[in-house]
Structure formats: C-alpha cells, structure tokens
Amino acid sequence: MFLIDAHLDISTNAIEWNRDYRMSVSDIRKSEEGMTDKIDRGRGTVSLPELRKANIGLVVATQLARFNQQNGNLPGAGWNSPHQAWAMSQAQLAWYQAMEFEGEMKQINNLVSLEEHVRLWMDETKPNTEKPVGYILSLEGADSLIDLTYLEKAYGYGLRVIGPAHYSTGRYASGTGTTDGFTSLGKDLLKEMSALNMILDVTHLTDKGFSEAMDLFHGHIWASHHNCRTLVPHQRQLSDEQIRILIERNAVIGGCFDAWMMKPDFIARKSNPAAFGINIESIIDHYDHICQLAGNSLHCAIGSDLDGTYGTEQSPMDLDTIADLQTLKGLLSQRGYSHLDIENIFYKNWLRFLKNAWS
C-alpha cells in the first residue's frame, strides 16, 4: 500500500551523520562498522532505496539546525549563532537539491506537484526504482531563521512546514523539557506563517506553547510525530485535551516509532526495546486511543521519525528497516481496522490534509 511518512530527518543524517542515502541500509551499516561517534552507528533503518522498497513515495523531510543556547548535545544543536545554524540549514537544502538533480527525490510544494506525484506513485506499471521519492520541506525548530525576512527566503526555496520548537529553549518557542511558550519573535512568526499559508507543526511545543498556538494561529495545523500522553506519560506526548483540540482543527497526528514514546518507563539511549515488548504493533495502541477520541480513523497517520538520531537500538524490536512499516497493514487488520481505515492511516489522511491546505 502507498505510504506517506510525515517526519524524517533525512538531510541531518546525510550531512551531520555523513550517510549516503542513495546506498542500501545494509551498505550504510557496513560503512559504519567500528564507528562509535554516534550511538546509532551501524544501526540505521532509513535510506532512499529502502523508502522505495517500502512504497513510501512521499515524506515530510526536515531541515534541523539549532542555535546553541543551553545544550549543545541536542540533535541539530551546537551552533553558536543563528547565522551558523542558517548556514547548516542551507547545506541540508543543498543536499536535497542535489538529490533532485540526480532524480532521487522531488520537492512537492503545491497542489499540482502533489497530485502529479501521487499519480506517478499509484501507477503500478512503473517500478518504484524509477520513481523519485517526493519530499515536502519542513523546518524542525525555527532557530535558524535569523529574522523574519528569512522566512520569505525559505518559503521561496520551498519550505512549507515549520515546527517552531524542538528540545530545550528556542529563539521562537520553548520546546520539550521546558515549560515556557512562544517568545515575542515566535508570535510574529506565527502571523507571518499564516499569511504565507504555511503549515504549523505543533510537535515539541510545551503545553503553554500549544495553547498559545491554538489562540494565535488560524491556519492549517498538524502534529507530525506525536504519541499519546495517556499511554506514555510525558510532556513530549499529546494530552487527551490537546488531541481533542487537534481533531476540532481537522489536524492529523503522525504516530512516532521512537521506542521511548511507545511504552512507558523506557529510558532513551539506555533501555532495550525487547525488554519492554515494544514492537511495531505497539503503535496501534496509540492509534486506537486517537480513534476512540475522534470516533473515526481520520486523524492518525504515520510520522515515523525512524532516522531521528537513533537506530535499531531504539526502534520496535521487530523493525529492521523502514520497509517493515508495511507490516502495519496486516497488524491493523488483525486489530479490527477496515481496509479504508488502513488506507487513511497509510496515506489518505495526510493526502486529504495537504489537498485541503493547498487548494
């Protein structure tokens, strides 16, 4: 089944992890044998050939570069000025553009390009190996926007989604692990995003930031990679009240496959997914919860984050590569989901959202 994944940190892996995503996952792992600079060396699960194998023809792909205000060890952090973070984001953009030139990827940034690309991937007469992986460009953490004039520059090269916050403090909004909300600059960012008809990703916002965003932003909202706080108590997860608000705003929530977000008490970078019985099916508990709150299957989907600076050491124990997401089809069916429900989760919910946003 065609699948849309609404959160992958592809360029971060390509530039900062120095991974050639044109290679197979197995070859990338072999190239990293003996390396110890990153915890997930030799354990990656994502590559462009693997996306094609998975029939994942469209992804939301990030730029991630953070201004180092407190913790330079955070993913994408370590830059001592917004200007340096901007430069890193441009290196990541250049990599996406190089992949486009090679025919490996294709930027999707409006309704026409979206519909053309989906038609291509729905055409089963042409093998996936001959199809570029479509990507919608998203900025995770807005620190690298030096000022708001850079938002228009970014929109010009195709940026269509922004998650203003990431981890810790931020120039535009505080993120995971903090309690503050939007800065005055961040509130202005929301106004400019709305004027440009950009999508707001509420992932990583604090509870205060989430409430402020709901009041200040009147455009299209999604949660690209989020699970349920009722099942895994943590500020990083969505509360039932927040899920209900997102449902009212016609949002879609992408289930995240980072093991610590799937079952409670898992300690990131330390615990073993097998010890907690965390498998691919575990995400369905979160889907069930969202579907029960919504009364339908129209608000949950996939935002795997499977290359989000972790690998098999922090993924479901039965997941070797991202291609294994296709096993969700059978697992959802066994749990009582209809064929239409499964289509909604695999691609129709994201596709409907995008068509509505870009119409």
For 16-52, write each residue's pLDDT tens digit. Answer: 999 999 999 999 999 999 999 999 999 999 999 999 9
Mean pLDDT of the chain: 96
Q: What is residue 47's predicted lDDT score, i.e. its pLDDT?
A: 98
Share of residues in the chain with pLDDT > 90 (%) = 95
Neighbours of 177 (CB within 10 A): 16
> What is the spatial distance between Cα 28 and Cα 15, in angstroms, rounded to a whole number?
14
Band (pLDDT 50/70/90 cuts) for residue 210 is very high
- What's the domain range around 334? 3-358
In this predicted structure, the answer to whether residue 5 has a pLDDT above a threshold of 70 is yes
What's the CATH code of the domain at 246? 3.20.20.140
In this predicted structure, the answer to whether residue 305 has a pLDDT above a threshold of 60 is yes
In this predicted structure, the answer to whether residue 301 has a pLDDT above a threshold of 60 is yes
Contact 300, 4 (CB under 8 A): no
In this predicted structure, the answer to whether residue 4 has a pLDDT above a threshold of 90 is yes
- 292 secondary structure, DSSP code: H
Contact 32, 45 (CB under 8 A): no
Q: What is residue 76's predicted lDDT score, i.e. its pLDDT?
A: 63
Q: What is residue 78's predicted lDDT score, i.e. its pLDDT?
A: 75
Q: What is residue 69's predicted lDDT score, i.e. its pLDDT?
A: 65
Q: What is residue 120's predicted lDDT score, i.e. its pLDDT?
A: 98
Q: Where are the alpha helices (DSSP H) in 202-239?
A: 207-216
| φ and ψ at residue 170, rounded to 5 degrees | -150, 160
For 143-184, write each residue's pLDDT tens digit. Answer: 999 999 999 999 999 999 999 999 989 999 999 999 999 999
What is the reported pTM?
0.97
Band (pLDDT 50/70/90 cuts) for residue 204 is very high
Q: What is residue 72's predicted lDDT score, i.e. its pLDDT?
A: 52
Q: Structurally, how many domains does the chain consist of?
A: 1
Q: What is residue 136's predicted lDDT score, i.e. its pLDDT?
A: 99
For 47-76, write each residue's pLDDT tens digit. Answer: 999 999 999 999 999 999 988 666 555 666
Q: What is the DSSP string of 37-55?
A: SSTTTT-----HHHHHHTT
In this predicted structure, the answer to whether residue 300 has a pLDDT above a threshold of 80 is yes
Contact 25, 54 (CB under 8 A): no
Band (pLDDT 50/70/90 cuts) for residue 186 is very high
